[in-house]
């Protein structure tokens, strides 16, 4: 079976379908990681997006039993240059194509991902559709581009409720006690806290601050998640009320939510940061770390005056804000993913900093 990918700038490419034969729509973005396609596919932050990998070959080690970051595939569609279908890693449970098929997600292979990446870098992340078809029923470019026009912009969608837990969920026993506000959390974040002995409870994204404080936590972590941070109004309100009451840490979307809760602002990046090779500088020490990232929005540094927040981390490539610290209360956040998965482990020490803050509290 064949498939086509159409972008809102008029670009149309055709290739071979793999995975599940259904139409997909969403914002088309690219990830520059060389490995970790399984972790990316199951990362809830990709909800509402068609993901394209820049590294040519995908699927070369299959699907491993313990690499998922959630309960299933969260991307809307998957685009690759070459699909490897075997042999795979001895511990693999299935091929990449079988994995997508099991979760009802379509894939497209055999297209020029280099060209597509260059277009997205030039014009920005774009709305798109991935449409399967039989060879004798090829859709016209006009038909495909008409479908693109009906795709909503990512900022118009409320995606966090689709990937958050519905009720509190106990993840691990231990101390200190951490409440993890689940906006679409990568489970590696919870595992990093649990590995360090913390007791972790996941709560829904819209849990009020008084309910969280009634659980008597030693700290609260606001997770990553998909979409525009300004649409997560309930979480922003909760974080604003928790400031100064309990130590706070934010990761990715949690970084943007902390800024908004303090009165700052956010904006949409042209094509975002997605990959395991983003350099960030710690302004506190002057050291540069290589980090794993997945986000399309960023904090506006000019909006932070009078918020109590100051920038601790910046992106070496483009100077964007990569992390904040509050000057008056125990709260900090990072735009990158210290748990990695996939990616370097350079900044895992931030979980130690957070838990030490919790213990002091």
Annotation marks residue 8 as catalytic: no
User: Per-residue confidence of the chain (361 residues) as pLDDT tens digits?
Assistant: 999 999 999 999 999 999 999 999 999 999 999 999 999 999 999 999 999 999 999 999 999 999 999 999 999 999 999 999 989 999 999 999 999 999 999 999 999 999 999 999 999 999 999 999 999 999 999 999 999 999 999 999 999 999 999 999 999 999 999 999 999 999 999 999 999 999 999 999 999 999 999 999 999 999 999 999 999 999 999 999 999 999 999 999 999 999 999 999 999 999 999 999 999 999 999 999 999 999 999 999 999 999 999 999 999 999 999 999 999 999 999 999 999 999 999 999 999 999 999 999 8
Distance, in Å, from the CA atom of 242 to the CA atom of 326, rounded to the nearest integer, reads 13
Encode pLDDT of 270-324 as tens digits.
Answer: 999 999 999 999 999 999 999 999 999 999 999 999 999 999 999 999 999 999 9
Q: Is the model's pTM score more than 0.95?
A: yes
Q: Are the CB atoms for 45 and 141 separated by under 8 Å? A: no
Question: Annotated catalytic residue: which of 76, 109, 337, 358?
Answer: 337
Question: Annotated catalytic residue: which of 273, 322, 339, 358?
Answer: 339
Q: Which of 216, 214, 233, 239 is nearest to 332 (CA)?
A: 239
Q: Are the CB atoms for 139 and 133 separated by under 8 Å? A: yes
Question: Annotated catalytic residue: which of 183, 252, 262, 358?
Answer: 252
Annotation marks residue 337 as catalytic: yes
| Domains present along the chain, CATH in parentheses | 2-152 (3.50.30.20), 160-360 (3.40.50.880)
The 8-class DSSP code of residue 46 comes to: G
Dump strand ranges (E) for the chain. 2-7, 12-19, 24-31, 49-53, 57-58, 77-80, 82-83, 106-109, 126-133, 169-172, 177-182, 199-204, 219-222, 248-251, 266-282, 288-299, 309-315, 321-326, 331-334
Annotation marks residue 358 as catalytic: no
Q: Are strands 248-251 and 219-222 parallel, antiparallel or unpaired?
A: parallel
């Amino acid at each position: 079976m064949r498939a086509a990918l159409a972008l809102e700038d008029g670009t149309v490419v055709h290739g071979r379908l793999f995975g599940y034969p259904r139409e997909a729509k969403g914002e088309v973005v690219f990830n520059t990681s060389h490995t970790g396609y399984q972790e990316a596919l199951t990362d809830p932050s990709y909800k509402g997006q068609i993901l394209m990998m820049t590294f040519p070959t995908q699927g070369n080690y299959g699907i491993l039993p313990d690499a998922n970051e959630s309960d299933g595939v969260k991307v809307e569609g998957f685009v690759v240059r070459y699909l490897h279908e075997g042999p795979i890693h001895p511990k693999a449970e299935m091929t990449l194509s079988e994995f997508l098929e099991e979760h009802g997600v379509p894939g497209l292979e055999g297209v020029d991902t280099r060209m597509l990446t260059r277009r997205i870098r030039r014009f920005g992340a774009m709305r798109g559709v991935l449409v399967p078809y039989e060879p004798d029923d090829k859709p016209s470019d006009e038909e495909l581009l008409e479908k693109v026009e009906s795709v909503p912009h990512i900022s118009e969608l409320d995606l966090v409720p689709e990937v958050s837990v519905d009720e509190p969920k106990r993840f691990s026993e231990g101390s200190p006690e951490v409440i993890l506000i689940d906006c679409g959390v990568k489970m590696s974040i919870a595992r990093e806290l649990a590995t360090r002995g913390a007791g972790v409870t996941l709560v829904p994204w819209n849990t009020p601050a008084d309910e969280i404080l009634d659980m008597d936590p030693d700290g609260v972590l606001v997770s990553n998640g998909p979409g525009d941070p300004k649409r997560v109004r309930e979480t922003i309100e909760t974080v604003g009320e928790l400031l100064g009451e309990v130590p706070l840490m934010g990761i990715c979307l949690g970084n943007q939510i902390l800024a908004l809760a303090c009165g700052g602002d956010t904006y949409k990046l042209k094509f975002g940061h997605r990959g395991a090779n983003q350099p960030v500088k710690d302004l506190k020490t002057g050291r540069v770390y290589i980090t794993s990232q997945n986000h399309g929005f960023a904090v506006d540094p000019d909006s932070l005056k009078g918020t109590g927040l100051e920038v601790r981390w910046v992106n070496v490539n483009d100077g964007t804000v990569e992390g904040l610290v509050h000057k008056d209360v125990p709260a900090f956040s990072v735009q990158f993913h210290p748990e990695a998965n996939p990616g370097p482990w350079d900044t895992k020490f931030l979980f130690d900093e957070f838990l030490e803050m919790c213990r002091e509290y």
